[in-house]
Amino acid sequence: MRIGFIGLGNMGGPMAMHILEAGHELTVYDIRREAARLHRERGARWADSPMAVAAASEIVFTSLPGPKEVEAVVVGEGGILQGAAPGTVYIDLSTNSPTLIRRIQALAQEKQVAVLDAPVSGGPIGAQQATLAVMVGGDEEVYRRVKPVLEVIGNKVSYVGGIGCGAIAKLVHNMIGICMQLVLAEGFTLGVKAGVDPQALWRAVADGAVGQGLMLNYVIPNVVFKGDFDTVRFALRLARKDIGLGTELGREFNVPLKIASLVEQDFVEAMARGWGERDSTAPFLLQEERAGVKVRQSS
């Protein structure tokens, strides 16, 4: 296929190379011409603008820093939509704004250009090894048609839903991951200051329910999706006791635990509602109440 790729940084560069190595005819562009040197040496064509890339391609990928760059490259002067012919598929691999990609999709539709948002996760190593997760939003028929190309850059390609859903999934993923960094920071600073060797602490956490992915792999699909907060696997009153002991230890050793303290207050509220004998996951209901949505899966 004739494929265009715009944005050849730490993520885009390796992804574009995989597409080239898969035997596709590749046209590339980056604001730094030097970024395309290896691609050009291996047979890729250089274009002088995003518009020229689009004019030469059946599928156009972008891998850019954020919404501002995506908007400029797609709808700006000399942008993708000025060069794309009817039937072209535009796929954005960036971590982008769902609102922007939906606006781009509406503009592209007028030109009979299909749009998919397909942000990736796995970092530069995943990009180099083609082991990225690719979260795709947009028309499902278009997704199925281009999936073989997406599988060149990632081995975990999934359809998330309509246009913008890929971006939403990626933002949720990154938000959770970034927040987990601070929870881990609280936990490890507490453990080390209280006297545990860092390596031993890491091993203990990695071997436990946290390291085994119990929350994501079991609780979300088997408890939250089913709304089964009354089958007691670990009583809420015991979890409230444990988080309380944790924050008490933090006060004893003068370790600030902002996130743990916020979580403790949710467990205090749950106890005040008389939920002590429900499952320890029941505070999930408090956030559902605040958000005005239930996270349930019928099937």
- 144-155 pLDDT tens trace: 999 999 999 999
- Torsion over CA of 140, 145, 151 and 155, rounded to 10 degrees? 30
Do 139 and 233 sit in the same domain of this protein? no
Do 157 and 14 sit in the same domain of this protein? yes
Residue 177 maps to a domain? no
Residue 193 maps to a domain? no
Do 10 and 69 sit in the same domain of this protein? yes
d(CA 119, CA 213): 23
Do 148 and 8 sit in the same domain of this protein? yes
Domain of residue 238: give its range.
208-291
Contact present, 116 and 142 (Cβ < 8 Å):
yes
Whole-number pLDDT of residue 251? 98
From residue 92, alpha-carbon distances to 12, 68, 198, 243 in Å are: 11, 13, 40, 42
Q: Is 170 a catalytic residue?
A: yes
Confidence of residue 218 (pLDDT cuts 50, 70, 90): very high
Residue type, 287: Q
Do 139 and 276 sit in the same domain of this protein? no
- 179-197 pLDDT tens trace: 999 999 999 999 999 999 9
Residue 192 maps to a domain? no
- Closest CA relative to residue 74, chosen from 86, 98, 92: 92
Choose, from 170, 226, 258, 294, the residue flagged as catalytic: 170
Q: Is 115 helix (H, G, I), strand (E, B) or coil?
A: strand
Burial of 72 (0-12, 13-18, 19+ CB in 10 A): middle
Residue 43 maps to a domain? yes
- Indicate the number of domains in the chain: 2
Q: In the 8-state DSSP scheme, what is residue 131?
A: -
Whole-number pLDDT of residue 298? 74
CA atoms within 13 A on the CB side of 219: 18
Helices 67-75 and 98-109: angle between axes, nearest 10 degrees: 10
- 25-56 pLDDT tens trace: 999 999 999 999 999 999 999 999 999 999 99
Do 161 and 28 sit in the same domain of this protein? yes
Residue 197 maps to a domain? no
User: Structure tokens of 61?
Assistant: 């990928």
Do 7 and 135 sit in the same domain of this protein? yes
- 73-83 pLDDT tens trace: 999 999 999 99
Here the CATH number for the domain that contains residue 25 is: 3.40.50.720
User: Structure tokens of 194?
Assistant: 């209280």
Do 135 and 218 sit in the same domain of this protein? no
169, 193, 216 — which closes off a domain?
A: 169
Contact present, 163 and 138 (Cβ < 8 Å):
yes
